[in-house]
Amino acid sequence: MKRLSSLLMAAALAASTLAADETRKTAYIGAASASLENENMTEAIFGFGIDKIYDSGMIIGFHNEYSYGSVEDSSSNDKSGVSTIEFDLKGGYSPFKNFSVFALVAAAGQYIESDAAYGFGYGGGMDYALTDSFILDVRYKTYSMKDSIINYDYDKAVASIRYKF
């Protein structure tokens, strides 16, 4: 992950000297299938982001999102609400005008009932511009989360529709 972070930072510095062809500001909603401590859940996603797409096809972006779901404790059948705030640094390439692939370096804060955790992760995805205003986005992220008692993995596959304004 350290190597991926270094690679994305080097790409960001190189891209800052290029002329941006397009700045894409988006708001999005979506759904995620997530795994938390080996328990599956579905989450609702709300987020905002900005991407700079350069003449060379390189993409640099920053996104933040909020997701909410509930996970069921298999031993007691109780449901616990899970709120997550995520910040993503995005680096990628757009080989065609309406299509792009990207890598993500991410940080997350998570609140499960009365327990708070934080973690860092990585992922990847792709998006496709359906129209000038709507973009279909799919991505996968995995995190190593830490709280005061345990460490756990948090994985999620997301599909969202972004609105460009």
pTM: 0.82
Sequential DSSP letters for 1-31: -HHHHHHHHHHHHHHTTSPEEEEEEEEEEEE
pLDDT under 50 in the chain at which residues? none
10 Å Cβ neighbour count for 44?
Answer: 12
Counting residues of the chain whose pLDDT is more than 90, the rounded percentage is 68
